[in-house]
C-alpha cells in the first residue's frame, strides 16, 4: 500500500501524487485526505505571506543602513525612534480586528512590518556588518532546522502544545528583565546571557507556533499565523545579534 493518498488517472488507472495536497504527505496521524489538502494550502499561504514580510524587512533594513540620512534621522531623534518602537503594539489592535478583511488586513500587516523593520534596521546599522551577517546566517539555519523538525515530529504524532504555558511564563520574565535594564543596565556578560536565554525561548516559540500552524490555526487566521511566526523569527534574530555583539565587545 502506498504511503500517501493518490488520485487515480482515468486513462491508465495509475495513482498520481496530488501536488495540492502537499505531495501526498500526511501532516499528522488521523488527518483526513480532504483536511490534509486544505491544511497544506493554508500552510503555503502563511509561508508566502511570511516570506513577503521577511523580504520587506530586508529591504527596509538595507535602505536604512545604506542611506545615511535615514539612519541619521532615526538615530538623532529619540522621540521618533520611541514612537516607532511603540507603533507595532498600537497596530496589533487593528491587525487583530481586521485580520479577515481583505485588503485592509494586508495594508495593516504592511504597516506593522515596516514599523518593526525600522528599529531593527537602526540596530543593524549600529552593528558591525560581519556580526549582522553571522546573526542572519545563524537565524536562517535555526529557523529552517526547527521548522523541518516540527513538521517531521508532527508527522510522527508528537504534540508540542505543552510548551505554551512554559514559553508564556518565560516571555513575561524576559519582558520584565528588559524593563529592569532601563534602570539597572546589564554588563556585557549579563547581556550575552540574557540574549542566549531569549534565543532559547524564541526557538521554543518557533516549534510551538509551527505546531499550531500545522494543527490548530483556522484557515481564516493566515494573517495572525504569519505575524506570529514573523515575530518569533525577528526576536530570534535580535537575540542572536545581541549575543554576538556582546561577545565581540
Read off the C-alpha cell for 212. Answer: 499550531
pLDDT of residue 224: 93
Q: What does each C-alpha distance from 201 to 166, 170, 171, 196, 198 come to in angstroms? A: 9, 7, 7, 9, 5
Share of the chain above pLDDT 90, in %: 45
pLDDT tens string 47-96: 999 999 999 999 988 888 887 777 777 777 777 778 877 888 888 898 88
Question: Who has greater pLDDT, 199 or 190?
Answer: 199
Question: Who has greater pLDDT, 101 or 172?
Answer: 172
pLDDT of residue 8: 37
Q: Which residue is it, cell 550575552?
A: 192
Whether residue 50 contacts residue 226, with contact meaning beta carbons closer than 8 Å, is answered with yes
Cα dihedral value 195, 198, 202, 205, nearest 10: 170
Mean pLDDT value across residues 190-201: 89
Beta-carbon neighbour count of residue 246 at 10 Å?
19
Mean pLDDT value across residues 191-216: 93
pLDDT tens string 89-145: 888 898 888 888 888 889 999 999 998 998 888 888 888 888 999 999 999 999 999
Burial class (CB in 10 A: 0-12, 13-18, 19+), 73: middle
Amino acid at each position: 500500500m502506498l504511503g500517501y493518498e493518490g488520485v487515480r488517472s482515468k486513462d491508465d488507472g495509475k495513482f498520481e501524487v496530488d501536488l495540492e495536497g502537499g505531495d501526498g504527505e500526511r501532516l499528522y496521524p488521523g488527518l483526513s485526505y480532504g483536511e490534509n489538502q486544505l491544511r497544506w494550502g493554508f500552510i503555503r499561504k502563511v509561508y508566502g505571506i511570511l516570506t513577503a514580510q521577511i523580504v520587506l524587512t530586508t529591504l527596509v533594513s538595507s535602505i536604512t543602513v545604506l542611506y545615511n540620512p535615514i539612519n541619521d534621522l532615526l538615530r538623532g531623534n529619540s522621540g521618533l525612534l520611541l514612537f516607532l518602537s511603540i507603533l507595532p503594539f498600537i497596530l496589533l489592535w487593528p491587525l487583530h480586528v481586521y485580520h479577515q478583511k481583505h485588503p485592509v488586513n494586508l495594508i495593516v500587516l504592511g504597516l506593522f512590518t515596516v514599523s518593526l523593520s525600522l528599529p531593527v534596521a537602526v540596530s543593524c546599522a549600529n552593528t558591525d556588518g560581519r556580526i549582522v551577517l553571522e546573526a542572519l546566517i545563524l537565524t536562517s539555519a535555526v529557523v529552517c532546522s526547527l521548522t523541518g523538525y516540527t513538521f517531521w515530529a508532527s508527522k510522527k504524532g508528537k504534540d508540542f502544545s505543552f510548551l505554551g504555558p512554559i514559553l508564556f511564563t518565560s516571555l513575561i520574565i524576559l519582558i520584565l528583565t528588559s524593563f529592569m535594564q532601563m534602570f539597572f543596565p546589564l554588563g556585557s556578560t549579563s547581556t550575552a546571557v540574557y540574549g542566549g536565554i531569549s534565543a532559547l525561548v524564541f526557538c521554543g516559540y518557533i516549534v510551538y507556533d509551527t505546531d499550531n500552524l500545522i494543527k490548530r490555526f483556522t484557515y481564516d487566521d493566515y494573517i495572525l499565523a504569519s505575524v506570529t511566526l514573523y515575530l518569533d523569527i525577528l526576536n530570534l534574530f535580535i537575540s542572536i545579534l545581541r549575543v554576538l555583539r556582546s561577545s565581540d565587545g
